[in-house]
Structure 1
């Protein structure tokens, strides 16, 4: 059982991440490669294991199957390069403290980990190369699906917040979530208590993780709550040899347009993303609007489109 104690400042400071974090997703993929094969993720897990880059296998010395590796390894960044910059510039005291925690709880002490603690230049260059290789081989090919899953999750949870409030939304992030006063209680195999620090909480769903929720608590910044997204990666988009369920109902292009509109986009954005003409994108948007699956608003010369609750229901139900 995980108990998360909120202060009033933390409840007022709950926000959603602006997008999936590349290195966080990478760490979760590395953890999933070591976890027991699951019914939903099994095929994907076997593919990840078979394709795990040889140059990236050092990461398995750092990341256990629980994904509770050193926090300096998976900063919440918007891009790979700024994430790598944050990793490589992590304070030495932070690096040593996190490596000590990880080695005490889940990973054996190896010469390579000692090199990280001692700031050995060659070892840190190898870490950077491992992260780049793992991202290129394991995360980048699925990034568009990870991103679309994140956008759908964020839109869905935002709707839940508007309809049911913050407490119900937070309790609903994982099965069995409940409140005891200002403490959020979540069902987990291990007992743990976390007290937030008054700097708020960032919600970060992941389509590649099926384990228990994870907390990264920071003393001088918002803490981060990582949880499995409503729709896991293997169910995002069409699987090999199969058609997406919405294609038969809406048509392939129109279904793809609806999937894009979990975030607000212009007609030009839709045309660019789907590689169609602007007039064709406008026709698809009109059909979706007439079916009450999206709403449209004009700001100056720009026309913005986004999903309605009915559109979100259709997307999440089809997954």
Structure 2
């Protein structure tokens, strides 16, 4: 069983991650390559065929359980920042994490032993492997990863507003339950995490379908849990036309962007639209009660209403 013990201070410091963590998703994608999850079977077959040879050393570090070395998946705001954090991890930290994942019963490869010793060539192999894996595993589905993350985060924030933090945390996965101020999850391991007033960051993953994982990093403690819609169930952007048929392609694209708050400037930049066009579409979506606008000084932030989120969550359904 996984037990997460909260103090009052911890509960006041529970937050949602602002965006997906690419290195965490990469590690869990590598774990998915090693699992026999039927949901991921077609993705696993395609990805295994095209996985660059340079990326394969990482498979020696990441087991099917997803509980790989924490130096390999630091939360970050982008792949370059993530890679910098991986490569700047102190040798004692790397060594300790490699000892942890290889004990008991797993013998490290010669490369992993050199990595634990701080060997420069082993570090270069690590850099090449991470870069190759980013390109071979994450690059193609990243738009869907981001869309799944945004929809998940919006849904949970809606739950938080309507039902409160206790119900939101208990609803992260089936079987989660409160025992006093301790949140318990079914798990094959017996693990207890005491937050000590530092709080917790919630991080959904579209590559993970197992029980929640807790990672304690320099930058805080993260609870990684499976998003409601895992990657294979997320529509490929090239094939999802139902919402576009209802609203029009451009207006649907604007609505999809607004599962997280965005400014008009963000929409102009990310969708390549004229400012007047953005204004027209946001006005129409507000009139339909699909989005709302909130002014902060000179800046106007647009975001989905619950009705807009419901429309997005049901796209693609039907006969």
1:173 aligned partner: 172
- How far does the alpha carbon of each residue in 1:268-308 deviate from its partner, in whole angstroms, 9 at most, with x for none? 32233222332222222122111101012344554331101
1:149 aligned partner: 148
Going from structure 1 to structure 2, the CA distance change for 1:278 and 1:234 (only over 3 Å counts) comes to farther
* 8 Å CA contact retained: 2:144, 2:236: no
Going from structure 1 to structure 2, the CA distance change for 1:269 and 1:237 (only over 3 Å counts) comes to farther
Match 1:258 to one of 255, 260, 269: 255
1:135 aligned partner: 134
* 8 Å CA contact retained: 1:64, 1:106: no
2:230 aligned partner: 232
Distance 2:116 2:216 in 1: 22
1:78 aligns with 2:71: no
Aligned to 1:144, what secondary structure does the other structure show?
A: helix
* 5+ residue gaps, structure 2: none
2:220 aligned partner: 222
1:246 aligned partner: 243
Say which is worse superposed, 83-92 or 104-113, in terms of deviation.
Answer: 104-113
- How far does the alpha carbon of each residue in 1:86-120 deviate from its partner, in whole angstroms, 9 at most, with x for none? 21221222111111111114742211111011111
- How far does the alpha carbon of each residue in 1:34-81 deviate from its partner, in whole angstroms, 9 at most, with x for none? 110323x33222222122111000001100011101111110111222
TM-score (norm 1): 0.92
Aligned to 1:138, what secondary structure does the other structure show?
A: helix
Post-superposition shift, 1:143? 1.9
- How far does the alpha carbon of each residue in 1:192-247 deviate from its partner, in whole angstroms, 9 at most, with x for none? 333223211111111122122111135x752110011122222333376x434322
1:282 aligned partner: 279
2:163 aligned partner: 164
Alpha-carbon RMSD: 2.0
1:113 aligned partner: 112
2:199 aligned partner: 200
Aligned length: 316
Distance 2:297 2:215 in 1: 42
Distance 2:77 2:236 in 1: 26
1:67 aligned partner: 66
1:273 aligns with 2:273: no
* 8 Å CA contact retained: 1:231, 1:316: no
